[in-house]
Amino acid sequence: MSFLTLISISSLAGLVGALGGMGGGTLLIPAFTFLGMDIKHAIAISMVSVIATSSGAAAAYVRDRLTNLRAGMFLEIFTILGAIAGASLTIAMPRQPLFIAFGVILILSWGASTWRRRKETPAMTAAVDRFTATLGLRGSYFDLAEQSEVEYQPVRAAYAGPLMLLVGAAAGLFGVGAGALKVLVLEQIMGLPTKVATSTSNLIIGVTALAGSSVYLAAGLIDPGTTAPVILGVLSGAFLGTRLLNRLSNRSAQRVFLLILLILGVAMILRGMTNT
């Protein structure tokens, strides 16, 4: 694939991904495979680019004091083990089921995002359990919109952990951040406020992607000549997308992104069922 193709596809994936509140990987992999790249190669390269976009975003979030560092660290135990298992599975797996599984995860992400849009703030119903209390995950952040310090108490860490093992496996398997699934667990299981869930998910993604990347590098799937332009492309696209997002209506950008996600999901499944 030529330099120009690599950089333009990856900037576009970064841009559209940022508009939809996701990393570039979700769009990058289908786009690259449709242009003839081997799916395992595309997954490996995307996994590295995920480190770039998530770290860039996490840097801003952490400094704005929105991230729960303790909750993130606890959950990383599970996501990195999942990512290593997932990436190892991808290397061993035949390609056809990989296409189908990728399509399914795209449609799941579509579903998760669509469902999440309806429920804005999670209901804090459960009382804090002993295990979560032991971890001392209570936190607070300054809400700019409300101009007040918001305190929160995470719950059900014992359930969130094992679930994150699965989410990490999905991230490693498909070379994506799986941010939508991570936010889902953080919000709906652990009861984190949306802003904290989004920023903590970003922090977890970087380390998870590193664990996955180490497996792909060992398998010889990360070639610098292809990976380097993709890193630049995805980064610049994501940078532009985040700035553009402030000017666009959030909902219309999301709607377009979700439609793309659904179409790509179906296309990947069809491709897996016919031939690679």
Partner 1 sequence: MTGQGSPDSMRPSSSQARLNGLIERLIGGVLLSGVLLSAALILAGLGWHYYLHRDLTFKYLVSASTIFQFFTHDMTAFVSNPPRPRDLLNLGIAVLLLTPYVRVAISLLYFLLAERSWRFTLITGFVISVLTWGILRG
Told to check if 76 binds partner 1 by CB under 8 A, we report yes
- Contact with partner 1 (CB under 8 A): which of 51, 105, 164, 192? 51
Distances (CA, A) of 183 to 49, 115, 164: 20, 12, 10
235 part of the interface to partner 1, by CB under 8 A = yes
Q: Does 97 bind partner 1 (CB under 8 A)?
A: no
CB of 244 to partner 1, least distance (A): 19
CB of 247 to partner 1, least distance (A): 23
Residues 193-232 that bind partner 1 (CB under 8 A): 206-207, 209-211, 213-215, 217-218, 220, 222-229, 231-232
Residues 46, 100: Cα–Cα separation, whole Å: 18
Q: How far is CA 86 from the centre of its chain?
A: 14
Q: How many CB atoms lie within 10 A of CB 105?
A: 22
Nearer to partner 1, 110 or 174 (CB): 174
- Told to check if 131 binds partner 1 by CB under 8 A, we report no
For residue 133, state whether it binds partner 1 (rule: CB under 8 A). Answer: no
- The least CB distance from residue 235 to partner 1, in Å, is 6
Closer residue to partner 1, CB minimum distance, 134 or 276: 134
Contacting positions for partner 1 (CB under 8 A):
2-4, 48, 51-52, 55-56, 58-60, 62-63, 65, 67, 69-70, 73-74, 76-77, 80-81, 84, 124, 134-136, 138, 140, 146, 148-153, 206-207, 209-211, 213-215, 217-218, 220, 222-229, 231-232, 235
